[in-house]
Amino acid sequence: MTGTVINTPAGTPFVEVTREFAATPAQLFKIMTDPDLVAEWLGPRNLDATVEEYDVRPGGTYRYIHRDDSGEYAFRGVFHTVEQDKLVIQTFEWEGAPGEVCLEKVTLEPTDNGVRLHQQSVFPSVDARDQSIEYGMENGINDSMDRLAELLAKS
Q: Which CATH number is 146's domain given?
A: 3.30.530.20
- CB contact set of 7 (below 8 Å; sequence gap of 6+): 14, 15, 16, 17, 18
Asked if residues 66 and 43 have their Cβ atoms less than 8 Å apart, the reply is: yes
Q: Quick count: other Cβ atoms within 10 Å of Cβ 129?
A: 23
Q: What's the rounded mean pLDDT across residues 82-97? A: 96
Q: Single out the residue of 113, 106, 87 nearest to residue 24, CA to CA.
A: 113
pLDDT in tens, 96-144: 989 999 999 999 999 999 999 999 999 999 999 999 999 889 999 999 9
Residue 1: is its pLDDT beyond 50? no
Domain enclosing residue 95, as ranges: 5-154
Q: What's the rounded mean pLDDT across residues 40-53? A: 95
How much is the pTM?
0.94
Give the chain's domain count.
1
| Residue 11: φ, ψ to 5° | 75, 10
